[in-house]
Amino acid sequence: MGIWNGLMKVACARLAKDDNRRIASQTPPAGASVAEFAYCDDGDEMHKLNFYRPTDCDGVLPVIVDIHGGAWIYGDKELNKYYCMYLASKGYAVVGMSYRLMPYVGLAEQVQDVFAAMNFLAAHAAEWKCDLQRVMLTGDSAGGHLAAICSCIMQSDKLQDVYGVTAPAMEVKCLVLSHAVCDVHELALDKKGRKMAIAAPLQRKFSQMMFGKHPEKSPIYGYASLSQVAKGLILPPVMVIGCGRDIYLQHTLRLDRFMRERGGEYLYDFVSTEDGPKLGHVYNIMRYEWEQSRRVNDKSLEFFDRCCEK
């Protein structure tokens, strides 16, 4: 795994350079405050979250829990900071957490971190004036995967036992998935959405990071993709956001088919390459200030509001 880890470090360093350049070029959204908290008392920098509120509101607010992307190997709570500030400025309490990354931990530990952050939120909800009966769970890319499976784990005692977590006392009114990659067993897809045999060695390496040296023997191996954990469960209303220039386009299309086949309340927002020639992977998260980003992010908040009214 030495060469593989080295390649990942190089890739993460390049991503960090690009993100730092992007953030330096942006103006933070106005109208939101932010405070940092450690959600686990172990001194790990990845066990921290940011809590955002609108600056002009003292009342109890609906809550948005955001899980950042980064291919499960990159990023922290600062990656989506401006996106979270934008949501908060619209009148919501927002939580964005860091979580430990592969290859230092696997998927089970990442899920455990998400649940630890959500339980920390639940413990402080009264103090922070958060309405836990009105919660939107959202994530982008790999964070979309974590958000999706965590929404299922919250509903199932069996899945909670498998992952070693306890569900927080909150009601997820809707799930918003931006450019989510929800099938971890078939990451590399061709233009027709089929698994690419040529990518099998890379898939194997990735699976070992996620599940251990012998992936198929992991207790969570069969409970890792959305299609696996959603069996027999009723998902909350779901909104899927995608675009034609997404490098993971086939995953968005696969997720759209999955949601349509399942039925239930579902909203799909897809921008074609003609309508959004500069819009790429997680554009609405990274570039909150773009007109198309504001449009779809506001649409997600309207979706949340409608779900809370039911």
What is the tens place of the pLDDT at every residue in 137-164? 999 999 999 999 999 999 999 999 999 9
pLDDT score of 117 = 98
Q: What would the mean pLDDT of 71-86 be, rounded to a whole number?
A: 97
Q: Are strands 32-38 and 238-243 parallel, antiparallel or unpaired?
A: unpaired
Burial 81-107 (b: 16+ CB within 10 A, else e): bbbbbbbbbebbbbbbbbbbbbbebbb
CB 238 within 8 A of CB 265: yes
pLDDT score of 220 = 98
Q: Could you tell me the pLDDT band of residue 1, with boundaries at 50, 70 and 90?
A: low
Residue 245 clears pLDDT 60, i.e. is over it:
yes
Residue 66 clears pLDDT 90, i.e. is over it:
yes
The residue length of the chain stands at: 310
Higher per-residue pLDDT: 133 or 5: 133
Q: What would the mean pLDDT of 78-98 be, rounded to a whole number?
A: 98
The percent of residues in the chain predicted with pLDDT above 90, rounded, is 92
- Three-state DSSP at 199 gives helix
**Quick one: CA torsion of 39, 42, 48, 54, rounded to 10 degrees?**
40
CB atoms within 10 A of CB 262: 14
The model's pLDDT over 90-140, given as tens digits with 9 standing for 90+, comes to 999 999 999 999 999 999 999 999 999 999 999 999 999 999 999 999 999
- Please confirm whether the linkage preceding 219 is cis (ω < 30° from 0): no
Residue 256 clears pLDDT 60, i.e. is over it:
yes
Q: Indicate if the alpha-carbon torsion angle 166, 168, 171, 173 is positive or negative.
A: negative
Region at 56 (left for phi over 0; alpha for psi -120 to 50; beta for the rest): alpha
Strand order in the sheet with 172-178: 32-38, 48-54, 93-97, 61-67, 130-140, 172-178, 238-243, 266-271
Q: What are the percentages of helix, strand and coil residues in the chain, rounded to 5? A: 45, 20, 35
Q: What's 27's DSSP letter?
A: P
What is the rounded average pLDDT for all residues in the chain?
96
Q: Tell me phi and psi for residue 84, to 5 degrees.
A: -65, -40
Residue 288 clears pLDDT 90, i.e. is over it:
yes
> Lowest mean pLDDT: which of 10-19, 93-102, 138-147, 252-261?
10-19
pLDDT score of 253 = 98
Q: Could you tell me the pLDDT band of residue 4, with boundaries at 50, 70 and 90?
A: confident
| One-letter amino acid for residue 271 of the chain | V
